Chains A and B, each alone.
Chain A
Amino acid sequence: MNDQSQSAALASSAALRARPVALPAFLTGSMKIGSTLLKAAALAVFAFLLFGPLANLALWSVAERWYAPFKLPVSYGLRYWEVVFRPTGDAMSSLATSVGIASLVVVVALAVSVPAGYALARLRLPWRTFIMILFLLPQAFPSVAIYINVARVFYSLGLTGTIPGVVLVHAAHGLVYSVWIAAAAFSAVDRDLELAARNMGASPLRAFMTVTLPLAMPGIMASGIFVFLESLDEFTGTFFVGVPQVTTLPLLLYNASMGGNYQIASITALILLVPSVLFMLIIERFLKADVLSKVGQ
């Protein structure tokens, strides 16, 4: 609902509301101030609970020495940032591994889900609903129990501890989103435009490449970004399939944190936050309401 109609509705409801008893003016005045203070305090507590943990993370990333009983770091500095961003450091190679894996995952997931999404949206398929649910199933099962068996199967194939193994695991995980969003993106394309292209003599493939695909592109881009981020943030699958050779950023974070190196862990966490926050800010531009309303249909 848009804000204008909402505030108009609120205004009209406020105007129509009958006050059962008229209170003296000084009393309503102080009650109003009291309730405003209460609301402000509640909002402040809420903000603290949301951003407190993130603030603690940011503090650790610039703390050179911090131990009990000191409430704040004993000395500040960027020494650990220098350690992390040193070109030969573990963090830079983990970042490269993570970005490389995520890019490959996008390629694999889109190569598989664009045709599948088109077929689900446009072509007559038997058991269509069943197939859509099948793609959702991996989300309905606790993933650790699946990954330990994937790792066992991959071990016999020599895929554990390799980049292709990790890419496959991440791509299967991302397929849920990419197939559903791609199907929704193709459903949102006006079928008459395709028919017009066909009437003017375009082959089915040409109509698809020049009309359908470009129109569905924003939705497909969104699903690609989504898959990229899911892969970048993925921990459980990499933990079972990738170790010990493949160290992505989340694994580096985990190892640093469990080893008590909170500075490295916090800086790695901040690096992982950047794409997530960017995504939150731009997602609304890619994922339009007309596509969103078609998801799952």
Chain B
Amino acid sequence: MSRPSLLGFLLIAPALLMIGVLFLYPLGFSLGAAFTAGGQPSLTHFEKAFELYSTDILFTIFVVVVSTLLTALFSVLIAGVLTLSETPWLVAGLRALYRWPLFIPFIVAAQCMRTFLAKNGLMNNTLVATGVLEPLQATSFLDWRGIIITFVWKQVPFVTLMLAGAMASIDRATIEAGRNLGASRPRILVELVLPQVAQTLLVGLVLSFVTMLSVLSVPMMVAGSQPTMLTVDMAFRINSYGDYATANALGVISYALSAAAAWIYLRHNVKREVQA
């Protein structure tokens, strides 16, 4: 067993081949198409992409960053209640509820929100019926707010699941010590619990960030056409013009955005290792 086994390589070859043909090759293709024009290295496609879609690039960054921050806020809140609350029925109720959107496909979530957030949707109708809103104040949320709401609705259960797991495995003695010294529960959450699960939170948020950058159905179905997210622009360039060059330049911009998220994660890791 000490030498690298030929058998091992043979067993893993088909899987590697599949990743190579269906991921690495198209990835190279996309980089090639984005950075060359007429066989020469060139940045003209990026110029065109920025010229036509700079609003959408900023819009995409805004939507994804706000969604990630809100996801962080709500997941910390829910996981914090699950871990620290002393009201058993509240914990049981929350535990039974929060996971539901986790396995709901994005396209189903998009269809739900398309009806729920509309001007005459169930949300406005409930708010009007309970007297929170005047009928004339009801507006459609089917724009950037709808995209953010759908993303947060879908991603909070995922991050909460990871976070609640991490919080359950930290040493309860520190929490009890804090309680005995008279610290309030919000303070314990922020100062004692969060630093211990920051790593898990960050992993969950980076994964959510990349997922939101990849989803095509939600911006197409929940929001109107302008402004919109880069995924929709890419699909539009391909389906309407067959313009692979500009679409791939937009694709490279979206790689750069997820690389930025990965970089934040790696920097945090390096810092931790230096401290340790």
- Chain A interfacial positions (CB closer than 8 Å to B): 1, 6-7, 9-10, 12-14, 16-18, 20, 36, 39, 43, 46-57, 59-60, 67-72, 111-113, 115-116, 118-120, 123-126, 131, 134-135, 137-153, 168-169, 171-172, 175, 179, 229, 232-233, 235-236, 239-240, 250, 253-254, 257-258, 262, 265-266, 269, 272-273, 276-277, 279-280
- Kindly specify which of B49-57, B189-197, B252-260 makes contact with the partner chain: B252-260
Most A-side CB within 10 Å, residue of B12, B106, B113, B169: B12
Q: How far is the CA of A148 from the CA of B254 in the complex (A)?
A: 14
Asked if B176 and A123 make an inter-chain contact with CB atoms under 8 angstroms apart, the answer reads no
A54-B112, A233-B105 given; A149·B26 CB < 8 A: yes
Closest-by-CB residue of A relative to B253 is A145
Asked if B216 and A144 make an inter-chain contact with CB atoms under 8 angstroms apart, the answer reads yes
**A to B contact number (C-beta, < 8 Å):** 265
A47: B residues at CB distance < 8 A? 97
Closest-by-CB residue of A relative to B182 is A20
Asked if A152 and B29 make an inter-chain contact with CB atoms under 8 angstroms apart, the answer reads yes
Closest-by-CB residue of A relative to B135 is A69
14 A/B residue pairs, CB under 8 Å, sorted by A:
A6-B168, A16-B180, A17-B179, A57-B111, A71-B128, A111-B14, A135-B19, A141-B210, A142-B257, A145-B30, A146-B26, A150-B22, A152-B29, A232-B105
B125: contacting residue among A71, A111, A151, CB under 8 A = A71
- Chain B interfacial positions (CB closer than 8 Å to A): 1-5, 7-9, 11-12, 14-16, 18-19, 22-23, 25-27, 29-30, 33, 86-88, 90, 93-94, 97-116, 119-123, 125-126, 128-129, 153, 168-169, 172, 175-176, 179-180, 182, 207, 210, 213-217, 220-221, 230-231, 234-235, 238, 244, 247-248, 250-252, 254-255, 257-258, 262
Asked if A56 and B182 make an inter-chain contact with CB atoms under 8 angstroms apart, the answer reads no
B121: A residues at CB distance < 8 A? 56
B94: contacting residue among A43, A240, A265, CB under 8 A = A43
A229: B residues at CB distance < 8 A? 103
Q: How far is the CA of A276 from the CA of B109 in the complex (A)?
A: 12
A50-B100, A146-B23, A233-B107 given; A115·B126 CB < 8 A: no
Asked if A12 and B221 make an inter-chain contact with CB atoms under 8 angstroms apart, the answer reads no
Q: How far is the CB of B173 from chain A (nearest CB, A)?
A: 9
Q: How far is the CA of A114 from the CA of B35 in the complex (A)?
A: 38
Q: How far is the CA of A279 from the CA of B104 in the complex (A)?
A: 10
A115-B11, A145-B252 given; A273·B120 CB < 8 A: no
A142: contacting residue among B7, B125, B255, CB under 8 A = B255
Asked if B12 and A126 make an inter-chain contact with CB atoms under 8 angstroms apart, the answer reads no
Q: How far is the CA of A7 from the CA of B254 in the complex (A)?
A: 46
B25: A residues at CB distance < 8 A? 153
B87: A residues at CB distance < 8 A? 36, 39
What secondary structure prevails in chain A residues at the interface with B?
helix
Q: How far is the CA of A279 from the CA of B251 in the complex (A)?
A: 33
Asked if B231 and A142 make an inter-chain contact with CB atoms under 8 angstroms apart, the answer reads yes
Asked if A43 and B168 make an inter-chain contact with CB atoms under 8 angstroms apart, the answer reads no
Q: How far is the CA of A242 from the CA of B221 in the complex (A)?
A: 19
Q: How far is the CA of A254 from the CA of B30 in the complex (A)?
A: 26
Q: How far is the CA of A50 from the CA of B3 in the complex (A)?
A: 54
Most A-side CB within 10 Å, residue of B3, B128, B172, B244: B172
Q: How far is the CB of A21 from chain B (nearest CB, A)?
A: 11
B103: contacting residue among A7, A257, A279, CB under 8 A = A279
B86: contacting residue among A14, A112, A134, CB under 8 A = A14
A152: contacting residue among B107, B168, B230, B244, CB under 8 A = B244
B113: A residues at CB distance < 8 A? 53
Asked if B16 and A131 make an inter-chain contact with CB atoms under 8 angstroms apart, the answer reads yes
Closest-by-CB residue of A relative to B33 is A149
Q: How far is the CB of B32 from chain A (nearest CB, A)?
A: 9
Asked if A172 and B11 make an inter-chain contact with CB atoms under 8 angstroms apart, the answer reads no
Q: How far is the CA of A232 from the CA of B107 in the complex (A)?
A: 11
Closest-by-CB residue of B relative to A236 is B216
Asked if B93 and A43 make an inter-chain contact with CB atoms under 8 angstroms apart, the answer reads yes
B16: A residues at CB distance < 8 A? 116, 131, 134
A70: B residues at CB distance < 8 A? 120
Q: How far is the CA of A145 from the CA of B29 in the complex (A)?
A: 10
Q: How far is the CA of A12 from the CA of B255 in the complex (A)?
A: 50
Can you add 11 more A-B contacts, CB < 8 Å, to A48-B126, A60-B115, A276-B108?
A13-B179, A119-B8, A120-B12, A123-B1, A142-B231, A147-B26, A149-B30, A235-B216, A240-B235, A265-B111, A280-B102
A51: B residues at CB distance < 8 A? 100
Asked if B182 and A52 make an inter-chain contact with CB atoms under 8 angstroms apart, the answer reads no
Q: How far is the CA of A171 from the CA of B88 in the complex (A)?
A: 43
